[in-house]
A = this chain, B = another copy of it.
Amino acid sequence: MKANPGTFFEDFCIGQEIRHATPRTVTVGDAALYIGLTGSRFALHSSDEFARRLGLTAAPIDDLLVFHVVFGRTVPDISLNAIANLGYANCRFGVPVHAGDTLATRSTVIGLKENSNRETGVVYVHSIGTNQRGAIVLDYVRWVMVRKRDRNSPAPEAVVPNLPARVSAAELVIPETLDVAGYDMLAAGSPHRWADYQAGERIDHVDGMTIEESCHTIATRLYQNTARVHFNQHAEKGGRFGRRIVYGGHIISLARALSFNGLGNAFRLAAINGGRHVAPSFAGDTIYAWSEVKEKVALAERADIGALHMRTVAAKDHPCADFPDTGVDGKPHADVVLDLDYWVLMPR
């Protein structure tokens, strides 16, 4: 059998190490496409000049583009046949990535738990993305539901890793050369510094972005993410939803791009504490988003930069002036598609 049929639950064992294929040189071509597909407009990722004033050599690659490329490497080995991408934890962004850097990903299986239906199981993977010098650019855990090859295969001993509810502010990686003394608020497009945000504050990001079939599939192919549910209408027309599902990471990117309007100085996505794709998204959906400041943390060694622990909720076909949220019954609002918990950095 020369073709990769994807992996099944039985193919994983605790401690298994996987070096994923297809190292990927990220370029200004990828960066342009990322802007074209998401509408992102954070100044740091848009302008070499802006980046140089902050002590970087050039505009770094958007944090989420790094995420998608690192994540994309893992799909053929982990989630080609995944039923659901269940969660992320402890996701920290490392050294900045620049055009010309080559990213690769390796993973370790750190958890396995068969589901009671014996048809499926949950696999926990710790993945590390590195650049061509071996420096870590991203480090995260995710867990996915994977089908068993054979219902009657014995269940492995259940191992569920102990994962932090959030990355601690002390663990956030601040690029060493970064110096926000030269930060230009006018160029950045927002007058609001870290000091201007308050825990508990909610922000409606106002704008909406409609997803086209081409846009999400170009994005997902760009990341060389091969999960089948995104690309094959012929197969999906007979599937659960009758149509292709948008890669959840594309929704994260749209939510982050929309969040510029209200969080324009959140120049770095420093960590993702957790994220839930509450409901699938499809072509034709219009994505809106709102955010809540969960914590506001001064960083011990950086008087110039502050961290905001944010939660951003994306909803489809639902403008977010009313902040659609999880109800008192604990159920997410029917229009919510994403609930993302993360850290951003801002000039203080």
Contact = CB atoms under 8 A, between A and B. Distances in A.
A222 B37 CA distance: 8
Nearest to A37: B218
Given A218-B37, A221-B35, A221-B39, A205 B3 contact: yes
Interface in A226-274: 226, 228, 231-235, 244, 261-264
Contact of A221 (B5, B38, B208, B234): B38
A205 to B, nearest CB: 6
A142 interface: no
A286 interface: yes
A214 B208 CA distance: 15
Given A217-B212, A224-B39, A27 B29 contact: yes
A209 B224 contact: no
Contacts of A47: 22-25, 102
Contacts of A224: 35, 39, 41, 46
Contact of A215 (B32, B43, B218, B244): B218
Interface in A47-77: 47-50, 58-59, 76
A235 B218 contact: no
A134 to B, nearest CB: 11
A343 B32 CA distance: 29
Contact of A21 (B32, B37, B43): B43
Nearest to A212: B214
A210 B192 contact: no
A189 B22 contact: yes
Contacts of A25: 46-49, 58-59
A258 B116 CA distance: 36
A117 interface: no
Contacts of A58: 25
A19 B224 CA distance: 37
Interface SS of A by simple majority: mixed
A21 B288 CA distance: 22
Interface in A174-202: 186-190, 192, 196-197, 201
A344 to B, nearest CB: 13
A213 interface: yes
A156 interface: no
B286 A19 contact: no
Nearest to A19: B186
A15 interface: no
Contacts of A212: 213-214, 217
22 contacts: A21-B43, A22-B46, A22-B47, A24-B46, A25-B49, A25-B59, A27-B32, A28-B28, A29-B31, A32-B32, A35-B224, A39-B226, A41-B224, A48-B102, A208-B228, A208-B231, A208-B232, A208-B235, A210-B232, A212-B213, A233-B284, A234-B317
CB-CB nearest 5 A-B residue pairs: A29-B32, A21-B189, A234-B286, A214-B214, A27-B28
Given A22-B47, A23-B49, A215-B217, 9 more contacts: A2-B190, A3-B206, A21-B189, A21-B190, A25-B47, A32-B33, A35-B221, A36-B221, A210-B232
